Amino acid sequence: MRIACLIRYRIDPFQREAFQAYAERWGRVIPRCGGELIGYFLPHEGSNDIAWGLVAFDTLAGYEAYRARLKADPEGRENFDFARDRRFILREERSWLEIVDGTFHRSATTGTTP
C-alpha cells in the first residue's frame, strides 16, 4: 500500500518568500533522502496563511527510513534550522493518506502515469 504524507502549514503571510525558499530546498533534499516529492503549495487566493506539502512513500517503513536519513542530511538540518530561526512556520500538521491505485500521477493528456 502506497501512502502519502500531507503536511498542512500555517505560515506567517508576511514571510511567504521565506517559506517558498524553505519549500524549494526540500525539492532537493526529500528525493535524495528517499521521499517522492509531489510538491509544495503556497496560498494563492482565499486564505493567505495556509500552505501544503505532499510527499509519497511506498510503505510506512519507507517513511521511517526516510525520516532517519532526513535528520542526518546536512542540507535537511540546515533547512530545519532556517525555519526555526526565521519562525515563518506557525503550525504544522500531518495527515496520512492511502494512495488510491490508478489515480496517482495521472496525466490529463495520456491517461497514464508520467
SS3 category, 109: coil
pLDDT of residue 107: 74
CB 84 within 8 A of CB 92: no
pLDDT of residue 110: 57
Average pLDDT of 83-105?
A: 93
pLDDT of residue 51: 97
Per-residue pLDDT of 30-80, as tens digits, reads 999 999 999 999 999 888 999 999 999 999 999 999 999 999 999 999 999
List of domains in the chain: 3-98 (3.30.70.100)
- Beta-bridge partner residues of 91: 10
Q: How far is CA 7 from CA 25, 33, 101, in A?
A: 16, 17, 21
Please count the helices (runs of H) and the strands (runs of E) in the chain: 3, 4
pLDDT of residue 111: 57
Query: For residue 29, which of 60, 67, 85 has the smallest C-alpha distance?
Result: 67
Q: Which residue has the higher pLDDT, 10 or 111?
A: 10
